[in-house]
Amino acid sequence: MKQIFNFFSEVKIELSKVTWPKRDDVIKLTLIVFAVSAIIGAYVGGLDFLFTKLLALIVTK
């Protein structure tokens, strides 16, 4: 039981050393992640659409 208590007290000490980001930074970085994900998703979706149409043309001939 002492080891468990010691573990959680060390976790508390380590978490107090963490430099947490400001709210504005979190919002800005989250929006960047969403934007990059949307761009990559559109790119991959476009390639998928293109290759699907190309394969349909090849198969129907």
pLDDT band at 61 (very low <50, low <70, confident <90, very high): confident
Residue range 42-58, pLDDT digits in tens: 999 999 999 999 999 99
What pLDDT sits at residue 1? 86
Question: How far does CA 23 lie from the centroid of its chain?
Answer: 18
Using CA atoms of 21, 25, 26, 28 in order, give the dihedral in degrees to the nearest 10.
-170
| pLDDT of the residue at 9 | 95
In the DSSP assignment, the letter for residue 20 is P
List of long-range contacts for 20-26, beta carbons under 8 Å, 24+ apart: none
